[in-house]
Amino acid sequence: MDKEVYRKKRYSIVGNHSAVKICNWTRNSLTGKGVCYKEKFYGIKSHRCLQMTPAVAWCQHACVFCWRPTEFTVSDSMKKVIIDEPQKIIKDAINAQRKLLIGFKGNDKVDKKMLEEAFNPNQAAISLAGEPTLYPKIGELIKEFHSQGFTTFLVTNGLNTNAIKNLKILPTQLYVTLPASNPKDYAKITKSNFGEKGFDKLLETIKALKQLKTRRVIRLTLVKGLNLKNAKEYAKIIKLGEPDFVEAKAYMHVGSSVERLKRENMPTHKEIKDFSQELAKELGWKVINEHEASRVCLIGKNNGLARI
């Protein structure tokens, strides 16, 4: 792993294989410019969110829509890496977050109480880069976060079905990314190491969701001209997992993705909302919330708020 590459992208490298980066919504929250859609949908606090990963450079995908520097992903296995313990990762990640936030102390627009809270995060978004379930102690990491009073949102590409099934301590919320509605589009979009067969692995994980006793969300990152289509196909797959919610979110033309896609590939919020309503109809659900700035809609079975 070339740590310098990630540092230039404003990642703070933690130990041998983890990383932290301040989310733009954390910055916006601290300066009074709005909050993340996850705060609106689920009640977490954007300014207290620790955006991190225990596997920054390891993933089986190199998705064209990913804003991360996927071209520097080194492997889909961490077998040759010296593995850090969860306690050390969390301690060092919090310290890294504090160092990244230090500049806000001189900003008059920042609420001092909120900044003090930001220095003591209580929500871990285990999703920054890479595939978190490749970290062999992912269950212990979640357990340790919970023991320190954190809520946890784990995002996975769904290729490590056994790792997810075998979690003894489940995250507060489990996201599974569904990047396409069929194997051909899946292989084209994800550049998966498994090709079209990766789609079968993903379906296996989605089918396993209904047995997991936590809040489960299937997430669609929708790219105009690639996968913003086939609502009926998506609905058929989503029904296999019986998730609590579906997030339909626009691809955003930011980060490293600008080298792979055009700005025209970024859907408008209206296009996302129209597609969400079509998908909701296929599911027999409703669009229950939206966040226009992030171009995302939350689809659920009723009008109830999704709160931790």
Q: Indicate if the pLDDT at residue 257 is higher than 70.
A: yes
Give the residue, 253 or 92, on which the prediction is more confident: 92
Is the pLDDT at 274 greater than 70, yes or no?
yes
Please give the average per-residue pLDDT across 263-275, as a whole number.
96
Structural domains for the chain: 3-300 (3.20.20.70)
Tokens of 300: 């659920």
Whether pLDDT at 299 is above 80? yes
pLDDT confidence of 52, banded at 50, 70, 90? Answer: very high
Query: Model confidence at 256, in pLDDT bands (50, 70, 90)?
Result: confident
Task: Retrieve residue 307's tokens.
Answer: 């709160």
> Given a cut of 90, is residue 277 above it in pLDDT?
yes
Confirm if 294 and 24 have CB atoms less than 8 A apart: no
- Better pLDDT: 11 or 92: 92
Phi-psi region of 191 (alpha: psi -120 to 50; beta: other; left: phi over 0): left
Amino acid (one-letter) located at 222 = L
Is residue 66 very low, low, confident or very high in pLDDT (cuts 50, 70, 90)? confident
- Of the chain, the percentage scoring pLDDT greater than 70 comes to 95
Triad 144, 123, 116: Cα angle to 5°: 110
Q: Which DSSP letter does residue 30 get?
A: H
Q: Which of 90, 104, 97 is nearest to 33 (CA)?
A: 104
Contact (CB, 8 A) for 296 and 272: yes
Dihedral sign from CA coordinates of 101, 104, 106, 110: negative
The predicted model scores a pTM of: 0.92
| Residue 132 CB neighbours (<10 A) | 27
